[in-house]
């Protein structure tokens, strides 16, 4: 079932939207740090193929953007949340990636947000979430490929395929599941997502 379009959206950020973006960014900063630990463990477990572990988990680092976008329906909210999460990783959790993580976060946020922006933040169906994860993963892959010398490798397309599938599944579809779960609890009823649900006729 495809999620209905949001009838209309307030144009101004409210304090609650800012607070939510910050809180979610901090929470997912810890989640992303935990993913780094999982990446290290998976890398060891995969043995000779361990270098592909980062691609298997890549979508997990895209989650906060579509979740915050879906709840607040505010332009730039996904980018802001990804940057906050990366800042928490770098400044407070000592991420081994270092400050360059902020560049990756910016690309992930932009890629994740573009599909929602193209619908003017009015459509939140499974397809939009999937495209969000796909584009977020694609942009960061393009950047990381130059950093790590992936271009020209024999396994380039294997890397890319795993990377994009992870983006769609973990960074897109899983985000939709999380958003729906939060919406069912009622904790986000005071945000744009709650207003949209209340204004949608029940068939």
pLDDT, tens only, 80-107: 999 999 999 998 888 777 889 999 999 9
Q: Considering the entire predicted model, what is its pTM?
A: 0.90
C-alpha span between 158 and 185 (Å, rounded): 39
CB neighbour class for 149 (10 Å; exposed up to 12, middle 13-18, buried from 19): exposed
Mean pLDDT of the chain: 92
* Cα–Cα distance, 63 to 78 (Å, whole number): 9
pLDDT tens track for 2-43: 454 444 444 589 999 999 999 999 999 999 999 999 999 999
């Amino acid at each position: 079932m495809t999620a209905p379009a949001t009838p209309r959206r307030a144009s101004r950020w409210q304090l609650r939207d800012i607070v939510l973006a910050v809180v979610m960014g901090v929470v997912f900063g810890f989640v992303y740090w935990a993913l780094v630990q999982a990446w290290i463990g998976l890398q060891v477990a995969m043995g000779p193929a361990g270098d592909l572990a980062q691609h298997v988990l890549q979508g997990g680092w895209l989650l906060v953007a579509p979740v915050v976008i879906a709840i607040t329906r505010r332009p730039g909210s996904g980018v802001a949340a990804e940057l906050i999460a990366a800042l928490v990783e770098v400044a407070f959790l000592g991420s081994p990636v270092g400050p360059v993580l902020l560049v990756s976060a910016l690309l992930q946020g932009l890629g994740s947000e573009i599909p929602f922006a193209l619908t003017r933040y009015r459509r939140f169906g499974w397809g939009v979430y999937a495209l969000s994860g796909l584009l977020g993963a694609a942009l960061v892959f393009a950047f990381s490929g130059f950093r790590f010398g992936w271009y020209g490798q024999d396994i380039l397309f294997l890397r890319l395929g795993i990377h994009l599938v992870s983006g769609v599944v973990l960074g897109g579809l899983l985000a939709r599941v999380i958003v729906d779960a939060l919406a069912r609890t009622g904790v986000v009823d005071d945000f744009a997502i709650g207003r949209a649900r209340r204004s949608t006729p029940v068939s």
